[in-house]
Amino acid sequence: MDIIIAEFTADDCKLLGFNKANVLCSTCKRFSDPELAKILTTCKECCLKDNDNDLSGSKRYPKAVLEVCTCKFGQYPQIQAFIKSDRPKKYKNLSIKYVRGLDPIIKLYDEENRIEDILDIHKWDTDSVDEFLSTHLSKD
């Protein structure tokens, strides 16, 4: 008999209602009621071990890429303001990539340079982008 161990991807978890980047395994115990057993199992597949996080409880990513089309700057002046300011220079592991026709997103990468999460940031303001990166991007 072969045993196969599989892990849910961030997309799998998103479809199941969990954000793998933000759910701590310690919070899964809230689903310990027998009627919530299926949710508990899913939560345990889509959570971060608490020791994978810093003291603030937020996962940190080694790399992020902010992608946007310059043709969309008129629609997203806050994103343009962030990109054109000195703020991105604070983050050595942040890249800005211009992609034709794309609304603004942030791609978060793991240590193996694989995309771990993609965030739609079109409703974020300049301070929100800065605060998110300050909280979730590794300082290395």
d(CA 76, CA 38): 40
- Domain coordinates in residue numbering, the chain: 10-46, 63-136
Tell me what the pLDDT averaged over the chain comes to.
85
Looking at residue 9, the DSSP 8-state letter turns out to be: -
- Using an 8 Å Cβ cutoff, are 129 and 79 in contact? yes
Choose between 43 and 76: higher pLDDT.
Answer: 76
What band does 140 get if pLDDT is binned at 50, 70 and 90?
A: low
CATH fourth-level superfamily of 63-136: Sep15/SelM thioredoxin-like domain, active-site redox motif (3.40.30.50)
pTM, full prediction:
0.61
- Within 10 A of 89 (CB to CB), how many other CB atoms are there? 8
- Dump pLDDT digits (tens) for 88-133: 999 999 999 999 999 999 999 999 999 998 899 988 999 999 989 9
